[in-house]
């Protein structure tokens, strides 16, 4: 049987869970595959245990394991695995995540139904040190590439699709998996944007992927980036910002996007990148970032696209977080109100509810919080439920026993 899919699993200190990940791949209903595990050795030269944990599975000839001569880092290790792709399709699978048995079958069917698409991905269910939470980046079914790109940007350029099933032919136009000098500072988002730039992306609205979440005292690769010194975070974000700007321009050029679509996509990108600045650098924007937010809002105001309101709502949420960090409760509340009025997204409605609660307006806050629960079917609605519970307690509306 000739393999059609190469599954690339970059691994680091994965002895306690790697077997579960690989078993999930070997049990796929789409079984004509090969699995390659690339082990990054520990910096201290100590024993890793990952290869030992995989030894009982090596009887399956579809599995091969190699250990890098030296530590590459997570992004470099992922990029190195592209040379292992010898099949028409490939997937990246982080060493601690799990697939349902139907994962490849369903994504392969999605690509077969849309020959012009280069990648298909599905929803994610988080497990481990968190209640089960579904994560989804929703792209409109049957939409053109510009619309798909806009919705990707609108949802924060979350890189969910980098884990999807990809046509190997895309590698002729995507120059590898990005690396940098900042521990792979959200480079997966750059890779996801690059994929949008070379072909259609298909969202399969089913949950066949399970992502492991760790307790706060466990330092994963993403948490290690957040623990970098402030100046390193700033430099990492600046490089990421420049790359995303370039990749978006290239994608829009490839799509031959019209000026109005370009402007709205640029505004949505600004919202995502400024939110990432607040997440990784600091919540208070500096004057240059504030100017970018205001300029993006002007692009939204000039747009006739119905999605412009949602982009504006995201930008107002960025400004709300800024004013909260500055200790300006009045401006923060105004920004939350502006976000709600601009577009009824889960985040904007929840922010307005929280602002009303801080203003001691509990009944209005309850209405907004329950509205957030109603429209947040694809979001993590726990913050809205927590707010509702707090308001109930404050009003003395707890369950009577």
pLDDT band at 207 (very low <50, low <70, confident <90, very high): very high
Q: Are 183 and 221 in contact (CB under 8 A)?
A: yes
Query: Which residue segment(s) compose the domain that 143 sits in?
Result: 5-226
Q: What's the mean pLDDT in 230-248? A: 96
Judge whether 357 lies within some domain: yes
pTM for this prediction? 0.88
Rounded distance between C-alpha atoms, residue 22 and residue 99, angstroms: 9
Rounded distance between C-alpha atoms, residue 214 and residue 95, angstroms: 13
Q: Which residue has the tokens 């623990």?
A: 227
Residue 315's domain is classified under what CATH number?
Answer: 1.25.40.10
Task: Name every residue whose Cβ is closer than 8 Å to that of residue 318 and which is 6 or more positions away in sequence.
Answer: 271, 274, 275, 278, 285, 293
Residue 86's domain is classified under what CATH number?
Answer: 3.90.550.10
pLDDT digits (tens, 9 = 90+) for 349-382: 888 999 999 999 988 888 888 888 877 665 677 7
Rounded distance between C-alpha atoms, residue 217 and residue 220, angstroms: 9
Of residues 4, 12, 80, the one with CA closest to residue 44: 12
Token pair of 274 as six digits:
């400024």
From first CA to last CA, the distance across the chain in angstroms is 65
pLDDT digits (tens, 9 = 90+) for 109-164: 999 999 999 999 999 988 887 777 788 999 998 889 999 999 999 999 999 999 99
Residue 102: other Cβ atoms inside 10 A: 15
Q: Are residues 22 and 156 in the same domain?
A: yes
Judge whether 305 lies within some domain: yes
Q: Are residues 124 and 14 in the same domain?
A: yes
Q: Are 25 and 93 in contact (CB under 8 A)?
A: yes
Provide the pLDDT for residue 217.
59
Q: Are residues 77 and 173 in the same domain?
A: yes
Task: Name every residue whose Cβ is closer than 8 Å to that of residue 311 and which is 6 or more positions away in sequence.
Answer: 154, 264, 267, 268, 271, 296, 300, 343
Q: Are 21 and 95 in contact (CB under 8 A)?
A: yes
Provide the pLDDT for residue 163.
97
């Amino acid at each position: 049987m000739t393999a059609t899919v190469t599954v690339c699993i970059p691994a680091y200190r994965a002895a306690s869970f790697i077997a579960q990940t690989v078993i999930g791949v070997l049990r796929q209903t789409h079984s004509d595959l090969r699995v390659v595990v690339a082990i990054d050795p520990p910096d201290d030269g100590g024993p890793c245990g990952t290869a030992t944990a995989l030894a009982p599975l090596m009887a399956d000839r579809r599995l091969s394991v190699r250990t890098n001569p030296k530590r590459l880092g997570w992004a470099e290790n992922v990029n190195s695995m592209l040379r292992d792709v010898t099949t028409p399709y490939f997937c990246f699978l982080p060493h601690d995540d799990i697939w349902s048995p139907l994962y490849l079958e369903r994504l392969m069917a999605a690509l077969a139904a849309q020959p012009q698409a280069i990648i298909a991905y599905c929803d994610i269910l988080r497990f481990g040190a968190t209640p089960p939470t579904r994560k989804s980046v929703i792209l409109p079914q049957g939409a053109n590439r510009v619309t798909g790109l806009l919705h990707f940007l609108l949802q924060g350029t979350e890189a969910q699709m980098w884990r999807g099933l990809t046509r190997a032919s895309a590698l002729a136009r995507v120059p590898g998996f990005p690396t940098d000098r900042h521990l792979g500072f959200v480079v997966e988002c750059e890779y996801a944007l690059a994929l949008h730039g070379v072909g259609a992306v298909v969202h399969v609205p089913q949950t066949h992927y399970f992502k492991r979440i760790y307790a706060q005292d466990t330092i994963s690769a993403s948490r290690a980036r957040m623990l970098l010194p402030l100046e390193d975070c700033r430099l990492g974000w600046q490089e990421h910002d420049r790359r995303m700007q370039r990749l978006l321009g290239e994608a829009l050029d490839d799509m031959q996007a019209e000026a109005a679509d370009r402007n709205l996509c640029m505004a949505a990108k600004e919202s995502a990148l400024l939110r990432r600045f607040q997440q990784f650098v600091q919540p208070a924007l500096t004057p240059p970032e504030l100017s970018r937010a205001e300029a993006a809002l002007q692009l939204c105001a000039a747009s006739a696209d119905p999605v412009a309101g949602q982009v504006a709502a995201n930008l107002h949420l960025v400004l709300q977080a800024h004013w909260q960090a500055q200790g300006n409760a009045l401006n923060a509340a105004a920004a939350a109100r502006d976000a709600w009025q601009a577009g009824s997204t889960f985040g904007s409605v929840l922010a307005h509810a929280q602002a009303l609660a801080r203003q001691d307006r509990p009944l209005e806050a309850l209405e907004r919080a329950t509205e957030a629960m109603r429209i947040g079917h694809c979001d993590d609605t726990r913050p809205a439920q927590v707010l509702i519970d707090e308001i109930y307690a404050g009003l003395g509306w707890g369950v009577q026993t």
